[in-house]
Amino acid sequence: MIDLSPADSSIASGRAAASGTPTGYLPTRHGRLDFSRRTAIMAILNLTPDSFYDGGTRLDPGKAIADGVEMAEAGADVIDIGGESTRPGARPVSEDEELERVLPVIRGLRREVRVPISIDTYRSRVARAALRQGADIVNDISALRFDAEMVGLVAAEKVPVVLMHMQGTPRTMQAEPRYDDVVREVGDFLAAQIRYAVEQGVERGNIIVDPGIGFGKTLDHNLALLRGLPELASLGQPLLVGASRKSFIGKILGTEPSERLEGSLAAAAAAVLAGANIVRAHDVKETWKAVRVADAIRFGVGE
């Protein structure tokens, strides 16, 4: 059964133990992410037939591996591989189907690139198999809520984990999402899930948080979260933001996903300047350039 409640609703308790700022780097089994004076880029490598932007383009494992290599060469710091669409209204696929999609690509890509690989899944069985094939990070859209065994796996394997906020499930999340104060409520949720993870043995230094742009949020909610990133950064964990080509950009610009590159780059730059440590993107080459300029403004890179 899926538990949609956070482990604890006290933002104070979750933040009391936080260090205030990330250490500046995140070690993984295949290199470390260094965001002490730069923002890391997480490349999106979807292997699904129905993802909202690139669905169906990488059904052949060889094509997916080649695309992953190209992403690494374009500047990706980590490659995030997903075998199930989490677009609004998406239906879940079986574990076996998810495994069939992701494992050959992880195996092949691990031989070709030296950057860390992330597995985008909320299932512990998929995460365990992916880690055995060479993945380094677990990116869990449920923040450890959908599979009771996930927290124990992450704790035992001592790997980084992304805890993301989502209201509802992918099938229901856009059915009239409501908040009294979206930044505070997302912050409360993430603080609670950090506390839960640590209590279950996950090392605090291995926890990344993600406000879940587009996951159970309206246009106004998404914009408020982007403006409120400094408050979420106060949780003291590396902050990941994924706004690439999402529907809120389309609502602002009146465009389809294929025409949202410029809006995605603007959102990525805004996220960097507001405190993001990692940005998740479809368009690695273009995002790398935008983020480097934003980093120069934020950190004084090149001075």
Give the residue numbers annotated as catalytic, written as ranges: 246, 280
Whether the Cβ atoms of residue 237 and residue 192 lie closer than 8 Å to each other: no
Please give the order of strands across the beta sheet that includes 240-241.
Answer: 207-210, 161-164, 137-140, 117-120, 78-82, 40-46, 278-281, 240-241
Residue 25, classed as helix, strand or coil, is strand
**Cβ neighbours for 282, distance < 8 A, ≥ 6 positions apart:** 43, 44, 53, 54, 244, 245, 264
**Cβ neighbours for 295, distance < 8 A, ≥ 6 positions apart:** 37, 38, 39, 272, 301
**DSSP H helical ranges for 133-179:** 150-157
CA pair distance 240, 249, nearest whole angstrom: 18
What DSSP string runs through 118-137? Answer: EEE-S-HHHHHHHHHTT--E
Instruction: Give the helix/strand (H/E) hosting 117.
Output: strand 117-120
The two structure tokens encoding residue 211: 């406000």
Compute the residue count for the chain.
Answer: 303
Whether the Cβ atoms of residue 67 and residue 44 lie closer than 8 Å to each other: no
Hey, which residues does 207 pair with through a beta bridge? 161
Task: Indicate the residue type of 82.
Answer: G
